[in-house]
Each structure stands twice: as C-alpha cells, then as structure tokens.
Amino acid sequence: MAGKPQKKASRKKVKPSGPAPCAALWGLDPSSEKGAAVREVLRGMGVVARTALPERLGDPAGAFARLPGFRPAVVPYVGPAPAAEEFVLLCGLSDAQVNEFLARSREAGCVVGPKALLTKVNRSWPLVQLIDAVATEHAANE
C-alpha cells in the first residue's frame, strides 16, 4: 500500500527506578584498613559509597541517597559529633542486597556495628540524629 502513511514506532516512557543504591559512611576513612575494606565490599556489589563529612551531619539522610526533594542543609553542621565512631546508612538496597552486604562484610572482616536502612520515616532526619538513635539502640542490644 504505497500511499498509506506509516505509523512511527511508539516509544514507551520508562520511569527511572530511583536513585542508585548507595551507602553513607561515617567514621570509615577511605585510607583506613576497615574503611577501604567496607568500600571494596560495596564496590563489589555495585553500591556507591559516600563519605559523610562532619560538616554534612546536619543534612537529611535522604540527601545522602540523593532522593528527589532532599537537599543538603543550608548551613554546615557545627554541633557535637555523633555517639557512634562508625556508621553505615544503606540506601535503596533490597533485602537480598542487605543480606549480601552483611555476609560479605563478615567474610572480609570489616563488620560495622551501628548501621541502618534508609526508610520513609528516617529519611528526613538529620544524619547525626539518625546515627545517635541507631547507636543508642545498638548499645542497648549488646
């Protein structure tokens, strides 16, 4: 049918699945043995590691995961350091990925005590508040 216009192939819009899985790390310096090992475990899983610097402790936890609508705090954090010396906030990982992280960390000898998953409840908390809450809970369960 020579004179019939052809339809263009329809393109289905695909929504992005969300920010890439990541982990916010506090007190795990990349130059330290443990900090490097934790980053290697995360890298092996395809999870981006983000270092939480002291001046960013006032940022909402969701900002570390780069969630839409979450931005770093306007002013740098100047309060007291968190109770925990080290902390991992896992963002956007499935249950299977969390279990894999825990298993790989044990195998690599770099288990971090206080850790949390980013949730709808805690994503608006300043990171320092989340670290302190998890550290308090972790200490109570020891």
Please give the structure tokens belonging to residue 72.
């770093």
Query: What is the number of domains present in the chain?
Result: 1
Q: Report d(CA 102, CA 90) in Å as an integer.
A: 11
Asked whether residue 131 is domain-assigned, the answer is: yes
Element counts in the chain: helices (H) and strands (E): 4, 4
Q: Within a domain: residue 52?
A: yes
Q: What is the pLDDT of residues 33-48, one digit of tens each?
A: 999 999 999 999 999 9
User: Is 12 inside any structural domain?
Assistant: no
Question: Residue 75: pLDDT above 70?
Answer: yes
As a whole number, mean pLDDT of residues 9-13 equals: 53
Range of the domain at 80: 22-140
pLDDT band at 18 (very low <50, low <70, confident <90, very high): low
Residue 118 lies in a domain: yes
Residue 66 in any domain: the answer is yes
Q: Judge whether residue 80 has pLDDT over 70.
A: yes
Residue 10 lies inside a defined structural domain of this protein: no
Q: For residue 60, give the amino acid letter.
A: P
Residue 104, pLDDT > 90, answer: yes
Q: How far apart are CA 8 and CA 10, in angstroms?
A: 6
Please give the Cα distance from 103 to 105 (Å, whole number): 5
Q: Is residue 4 part of a domain?
A: no
| The model's pTM | 0.85
Strand partners for 89? 24, 116
